[in-house]
Amino acid sequence: MATLDVKNIEGKTVGSIELSDAVYAAEVKEHLLWEVVRAQRAGWRSGTAKTKGRSEVRGGGKKPYRQKGTGRARQGTRRAPNHVGGGTVFGPQPRSYAISVPKKVRQGALRSAVSLRLREEQIIVLDELTLGEIKTSGLVEILGQLEAPRALIVESSENQNLSLSARNMPKCKVLPVEGLNVYDVLNHEQLILTEQTAKDLEVRLTPRLSKGQGPQ
């Protein structure tokens, strides 16, 4: 079991917590991190680029000139790709760039990302993180005391004051446990959890063994 200090919002140690090695001290598999981040970034692409083919451009309803006797190559329509303003050959069409990644791979990558932050000693566990009002400067002060200006904060329960206070902080982000993802973990230097969040995340990411399988 991995043991971490539990701190208050002033940065003082007030206790400790034991966390599962299977989640917080797992093997860091870089190829899983790459695969899942690639899939996440691909899913953000809009895929709306489009060009018009010869059947979609305007005009060209009749033959440009007669077939023979002009000395020029025969042409059937001004909409052909070889004419200015004609259709585009093999141009981009609306498509989905989404990449399907198995659930076990996503969970394995997230365990690797969390374990990487623990290995780097960049996980901070708090006894609680509550704000009495929506106030960005108050959250900035707390993060300053924790020495975590570029942090990803994960909360188990809905904390509207916290979410709205962090809304206009470009280097800080607040996510629920179920929204935690590999890209955001890697994109922030510190990972801030409450005791409850750490346990909930442990439940979410603990490897499930199939029937007849032994420990991996």
For the chain, what are the domain ranges? 2-43+101-205
Angle of helix 195-205 versus helix 103-119 axis, rounded to 10: 140
Instruction: Give pLDDT, residue 104.
Output: 94
- Identify the bridge partners of residue 152 per DSSP, sorted by sequence position: 173, 191
CA atoms within 13 A on the CB side of 216: 12
Instruction: Give pLDDT, residue 211.
Output: 52
Torsional class of 60: left (φ above 0), alpha (ψ -120 to 50), beta (otherwise): left
The pTM of the full predicted model, rounded to 2 decimals, is 0.82
- 10-residue mean pLDDT series, the chain (216 residues): 89 92 93 97 95 90 91 92 92 95 95 95 92 91 92 88 91 93 96 93 81 52
Instruction: Give pLDDT, residue 210.
Output: 53
Return d(Cα 19, Cα 1) in angstroms, integer: 6
Instruction: Give pLDDT, residue 59.
Output: 83
DSSP assignment of 59-88: ---S-SS-SSSSSS---S-TTSTTSTT-PP
Q: Collapse the DSSP code of 37 into the 3-class scheme (helix H, G, I; strand E, B; otherwise coil) and give the result.
A: helix
Return d(Cα 216, Cα 207) in angstroms, integer: 9
Instruction: Give pLDDT, residue 51.
Output: 95
Instruction: Give pLDDT, residue 126.
Output: 94
Instruction: Give pLDDT, residue 207.
Output: 82
Instruction: Give pLDDT, residue 209.
Output: 57
Question: Any idea which fold 2-43+101-205 has?
Answer: Ribosomal Protein L4; Chain: A; (3.40.1370)
